[in-house]
Structure 1
Amino acid sequence: MLAELSIRNFAIIEAITVSFERGLTVLTGETGAGKSIIIDAIGLLVGGRGSAEFVRYGTKKAEIEGLFHIDPAHPTVQKLEDIGIEFTDDMVVLRRDISSSGKSICRVNGKLVTLGILREIGQTLIDIHGQHEHQDLMQSDKHLSLLDQFGDGSIGPALIEYREIYSRFKKIQLQMRNLTENEQQMAHRLDLIQYQLEEITKAELSPNEDEELMEEKMRLGNFEKLFSALQDVYHSLHGDNKGLDWVGLAMSQLESVSDLDEELKSYHEEVANQYYLLEETVGKLNTYRDQLEFDPARLDFVEERLNEIQVLKRKYGESVEEILEYAASIEDEVDELVNREDRVEELESDLKSIKADLSVEADNLTGLRKTVARVLVDAIHHELRDLYMEKTKFAIHFNEIDNKNEPFHKSGKDDIDFMISTNPGEPLKQLSKTASGGELSRIMLALKSIFSRHQGITSIIFDEVDTGVSGRVAQAMAEKIQRLSSGSQVLVITHLPQVAAMADHHLYISKEETGEGRTKTSVGNLSNEEQIEELGRMISGAEMTELTKKHARELLLQANQIKS
């Protein structure tokens, strides 16, 4: 859930910090006080489009920061791990700064991220619905994914299996397209890669050859220095009165007294071990020195070979291994292009086979979706009845895909529309063609009541989605929003007293003029008595009477009885 929100120099907001709780939080206040501005700030915090116009006049930048508490199993945690952001104490902190020049800086848990990553993470934390945001639910291209989310238990595994086959299907299609689209281009490509393959093959490279040649070049180029140093080492250790003699003498002396003290035996053993190791090393160094020889012809060959390899590196890879890998890849391509006709026939056969498998999996998905669709339709009808839309008919229409040559897409072969008829006798129409704003608000709330359970969103925000409703419908919407907040977090901006009365937490947004002639917004928690005053204002407008207060108390009492 969203636990705390801090906003500085944003529009008419100078500086506010608001703490939020679970359950239903209602934000009310006079028109223009800044209620929607707070929601705009949250929208920017989770990746919305920003501009310099949001920065408070006369300041350098707007700052928005939000603290979220989430469960370790929440989808956000996996996204954080994928991009290397640390997650500790079950907290996520989002921050966004917008400068007066319009530049935006985004951070997640203190780490700089792109706006795209901020949006990707933000979408898993908050779902914002404004007066027109419900248009998202009415876009046909979103309906299939919503149906799949609702029926994830049965549709999910089948969709994963389908997509694995679809991925292979698209890969074969691409290979066929590359082999059949442009013969002249393929002929040029074949000439090029045959020349490249011949050049690499002719070089007869071996793995790590460049590294071995560099080592040999170092030895050959520094022959005199190597020989002189090894000569000095050998003569320092081997010979009369040299290093080994003195170590041998020390070993003999320790041996002669080791019977006198147990501790000296261990010292004798250590010195003896070192003597024999040093003696062995001297022998190896002597052999290495004797094998050294200065060979100018070999040095020339090594340098020429390294130059040859360097030319190939500039063309085909940064190392010999990369060059050989490239050669292997173009060898396969040469074979494919030379035997193009046979390869096309083979791919056509593969495509026919995989297309048959794809069709079976797509049909299975369609069957599962139609079963889930019937359950979803019943669930939405139930939600609509609660909102006094019992005569409204909702349906899910499965459309035929027009393209017969390519009937499949990444989610199957289905194309669906959510259809609705709000009045008896009227035909079913697409949601986008449904009539009044009040009807749209109720339909949207009914859909959200269903889909929010399956989307894993931490917090849901409604910005005046109750516009255009009143009376018993307003009461029904209030109860629906309250139930939606049970066990989660819902934030609502409302002008309806019925919704405000359902609040578990009531915040009042106000604005005032400062001594400098500027306007600033402030947020305060309402006490029980202050909440009654605010409900009375929402019921009657400017004039407050005892009757209005009585009505407000009754409304609050009724709301508490419904909640309990």
Structure 2
Amino acid sequence: MLTELAIQDFAIIDKLSMTFTDGLTVLTGETGAGKSIIIDAVHLLAGGRGSVEYVRHGTKKAEIEGLFTLDSDYRQVYETANLYGIDIQDGMVVLHRTITSAGKSICRVNGKLVTLAILKEFGKDLIDVHSQHETQSLLNPDNHIQLLDLYDEKAITKAKKEYIQLYEKLVTLQKRYKELSENEQEMSQRLDLLKFQKNEIEQANLVPDEDEQLEEERRQLANFEQIYNGLQDAYNALYGEQKGIEWLNTANQALQSSRDYDTFIAEKAEEMSNHYFLMEELVYSLRSYADTLQYDPERLNTIESRLNEIDRLRKKYGSKVNDILEYLGKIEEELEEITNKDSHLAKLEQQIDDTWQDAYLEAKQLHDLREKAAKDLTDKIHHELKDLYLEKASFAVAIDKKEKAGKMTLHRDGFDAVQFRISTNPGEPLKQLHKVASGGELSRIMLALKRLFAKHQGVTSVIFDEVDTGVSGRVAQAIAEKIQQISNRSQVLCITHLPQVAAMADTHKLITKHEENDRTSTSVEELSTTDKVTELGRMITGTKLTETAKDHATELLELASNYKKHDE
């Protein structure tokens, strides 16, 4: 969830720091006080499009920083962090966004500079912003198949994984078939190139690991004098009269002569004896190796010439001799395929047909699982819509099969095209969600969907920016209850003008603006219970605060408290 938010020099905000908790936090205040500006800042923090217009007049840059705390359930955030080499410690993620007056955008995640695209990757997993005028992910038909799969994730994920493996194999085979059946001119040119490369590599008569062995031998010959002198100096220091080995032998004999009289000496005498024999063996090894060394300047020239030849090939075919030999193997396979193209095409056709059949069967299983999930989702959506006083609305999950020339068209999600449709009035045909005209209806439909999908989408914070616009009365109360239900599964931040929604808040923050030194600034105050009554009364009357409004506000808070206890 979003734990801390710091904003500086952003629009009319000079400096603002806010602390958030879980549950439902509402932000209220007069129009123009800066409520939506705070949400705009969060949206930018999640990778939204920036503008120099956001930089407070007279300052050089606007800065936004948010601290998010995670638990192990948000595995997608950890996977994204691993992908981009960002360390997450103690389940904390800090997003930072700077927009300069020159129009530059600087993004950081846990202190590491990232691109805006990477910031957006984190943002989509951490924050889900919904506003009255924004195209929302739930209303985008392109996302509906993923949402349906999330709805019955346990059953569908396994089947989808098996299907994707077959689909990727099918795509690979189809790509190879296309490459092999290209026009004759391109294939002939490819054949000539492969023959030339094969001949060039074979003429070099490469041996596995040859480059590494030659480089090692070159190092020895190039540094022969230093190697030989080092061996000789070490040997002369250890072997001979009054040298190392002789003194070690003297020490060994001294300890051996006294070992029978003291357990400590006996122990050390044993160690000394072992060390002496090891050193004696080392001296013999140094002498034997030195005897094998011979300086051959002609051999050094031969090695340099051979490595130059290998380097020429490495620039073309691989960083090491083994890579070049591996590439040669691939060339030979491709040459054999092209030379015997017809038989390979026939073989590929059969493999494509077999794989397509297997993939189709898995896609059919996916389709059946989705049909079952769609039925259950439809029933639950109708129940949610009834709670929101859209009992006459009709919702459906349309699952169409993609076909071409009488054959199913497979794509990464199977052969299904999924679309959520709704009709809000009896007798009207089902329409796509985003084509529903009424703002109030749109808000309720979105809340119904969000209520069901909040636990599946896995975002840490859900933000509603005046999604309750255009509703009142019992519908307002129903929306308040639905938003509160969503906050049981995800942290919810909500800007609202409805007292019913504000009464449901676990935390209520009042946004106000004031003038200081001829500049407008925004401030935030967390309200006490008494202050909540005053603010709710203001929201109810809109003008002068009356005792009746205060009584009504108190009653609203009591009703909300009772509802939340019952909902638990």
TM-score normalized with structure 1 length: 0.92
Aligned residues: 563
State the AA in 1 paired with 2:68. Answer: F
CA distance in 2, matches of 1:309, 1:563: 76
State the AA in 1 paired with 2:481. Answer: E
CA distance in 2, matches of 1:236, 1:17: 73
Specify the alignment match of 1:54 in structure 2: 54
State the AA in 2 paired with 1:22. Answer: D
State the AA in 1 paired with 2:132. Answer: Q
Specify the alignment match of 1:539 in structure 2: 540
Specify the alignment match of 1:15 in structure 2: 15
State the AA in 1 paired with 2:485. Answer: R
Specify the alignment match of 2:342 in structure 1: 341
Pairwise mapping of residues 359-378 of structure 1 onto structure 2 (< 5 A)? Answer: 359-378=360-379
CA distance in 1, matches of 2:291, 2:522: 89
Distance 1:104-1:348 versus aligned 2 partners, 3 A rule: same
1:196-233 deviations in whole A, cap 9, x for unaligned?
A: 12222221222332232233234444555655665565
CA distance in 2, matches of 1:257, 1:528: 90
CA distance in 1, matches of 2:298, 2:166: 60
Specify the alignment match of 1:477 in structure 2: 479
Please tell me whether the aligned partners of residues 6 and 65 of structure 2 are also in contact (alpha carbons under 8 angstroms).
yes
Pairwise mapping of residues 279-298 of structure 1 onto structure 2 (< 5 A)? Answer: 279-298=280-299
Please tell me whether the aligned partners of residues 69 and 90 of structure 1 are also in contact (alpha carbons under 8 angstroms).
yes
Distance 1:423-1:227 versus aligned 2 partners, 3 A rule: closer
The Cα of 1:327 is off from its aligned counterpart by 2.0
3-state secondary structure, aligned to 1:133:
coil
CA distance in 1, matches of 2:17, 2:408: 54
Further displaced range: 546-555 or 29-38:
546-555
State the AA in 2 paired with 1:427. Answer: P
State the AA in 2 paired with 1:470. Answer: S
CA distance in 2, matches of 1:518, 1:507: 22
Please tell me whether the aligned partners of residues 134 and 444 of structure 1 are also in contact (alpha carbons under 8 angstroms).
no
CA distance in 2, matches of 1:534, 1:222: 86
Distance 1:210-1:529 versus aligned 2 partners, 3 A rule: same
Distance 1:12-1:282 versus aligned 2 partners, 3 A rule: same
Further displaced range: 432-441 or 130-139:
130-139
Specify the alignment match of 2:110 in structure 1: 109
The Cα of 1:83 is off from its aligned counterpart by 3.5
Distance 1:249-1:342 versus aligned 2 partners, 3 A rule: same
Distance 1:527-1:185 versus aligned 2 partners, 3 A rule: same
Specify the alignment match of 1:5 in structure 2: 5
CA distance in 1, matches of 2:418, 2:176: 31
CA distance in 2, matches of 1:561, 1:128: 28
State the AA in 1 paired with 2:341. Answer: R
Pairwise mapping of residues 436-451 of structure 1 onto structure 2 (< 5 A)? Answer: 436-451=438-453
Instruction: List runs of 5+ in structure 2 lacking aligned partners.
Output: none
State the AA in 2 paired with 1:203. Answer: A
CA distance in 1, matches of 2:425, 2:507: 37
Pairwise mapping of residues 89-128 of structure 1 onto structure 2 (< 5 A)? Answer: 89-128=90-129
CA distance in 1, matches of 2:458, 2:125: 7
3-state secondary structure, aligned to 2:470:
coil
The Cα of 1:116 is off from its aligned counterpart by 2.4
Specify the alignment match of 1:504 in structure 2: 506
CA distance in 1, matches of 2:95, 2:232: 67
Distance 1:469-1:240 versus aligned 2 partners, 3 A rule: closer
The Cα of 1:243 is off from its aligned counterpart by 5.5
Specify the alignment match of 1:64 in structure 2: 64
1:78-126 deviations in whole A, cap 9, x for unaligned?
A: 4334444333333322222222222222222333333222222222222
1:380-434 deviations in whole A, cap 9, x for unaligned?
A: 1111111111111111122242534660110010012211111111122222222
CA distance in 2, matches of 1:234, 1:134: 82
Please tell me whether the aligned partners of residues 24 and 505 of structure 2 are also in contact (alpha carbons under 8 angstroms).
yes
The Cα of 1:30 is off from its aligned counterpart by 1.0
Specify the alignment match of 2:198 in structure 1: 197
Distance 1:490-1:226 versus aligned 2 partners, 3 A rule: closer
1:208-265 deviations in whole A, cap 9, x for unaligned?
A: 3223223323444455565566556555655566655555555556656666766555
The Cα of 1:468 is off from its aligned counterpart by 1.2
Please tell me whether the aligned partners of residues 6 and 18 of structure 1 are also in contact (alpha carbons under 8 angstroms).
yes
Please tell me whether the aligned partners of residues 455 and 489 of structure 2 are also in contact (alpha carbons under 8 angstroms).
no
CA distance in 1, matches of 2:559, 2:226: 99
3-state secondary structure, aligned to 1:560:
helix
Further displaced range: 165-174 or 216-225:
216-225
TM-score normalized with structure 2 length: 0.92
Distance 1:243-1:410 versus aligned 2 partners, 3 A rule: closer
CA distance in 1, matches of 2:431, 2:324: 61
The Cα of 1:20 is off from its aligned counterpart by 1.6
Further displaced range: 67-76 or 11-20:
67-76
3-state secondary structure, aligned to 2:549:
helix
Specify the alignment match of 1:408 in structure 2: 410
Specify the alignment match of 1:149 in structure 2: 150
1:410-466 deviations in whole A, cap 9, x for unaligned?
A: 001001221111111112222222221111111111111111132122221110111
Further displaced range: 139-148 or 87-96:
87-96
Instruction: List runs of 5+ in structure 1 lacking aligned partners.
Output: none
State the AA in 1 paired with 2:103. Answer: G
CA distance in 1, matches of 2:280, 2:155: 75
Distance 1:45-1:218 versus aligned 2 partners, 3 A rule: closer
Distance 1:187-1:547 versus aligned 2 partners, 3 A rule: same
The Cα of 1:557 is off from its aligned counterpart by 3.2
3-state secondary structure, aligned to 1:416:
strand
Distance 1:294-1:486 versus aligned 2 partners, 3 A rule: closer
Please tell me whether the aligned partners of residues 455 and 490 of structure 2 are also in contact (alpha carbons under 8 angstroms).
no
Q: Using the aligned pairs only, state the percent identity.
A: 53
Distance 1:201-1:27 versus aligned 2 partners, 3 A rule: same
Distance 1:296-1:21 versus aligned 2 partners, 3 A rule: closer
Distance 1:247-1:133 versus aligned 2 partners, 3 A rule: same
CA distance in 1, matches of 2:194, 2:544: 86
State the AA in 2 paired with 1:511. Answer: K
Further displaced range: 552-561 or 501-510:
552-561
Distance 1:258-1:491 versus aligned 2 partners, 3 A rule: closer
Please provide the CA RMSD for this pair: 2.5
Distance 1:409-1:235 versus aligned 2 partners, 3 A rule: closer
State the AA in 2 paired with 1:374. Answer: K
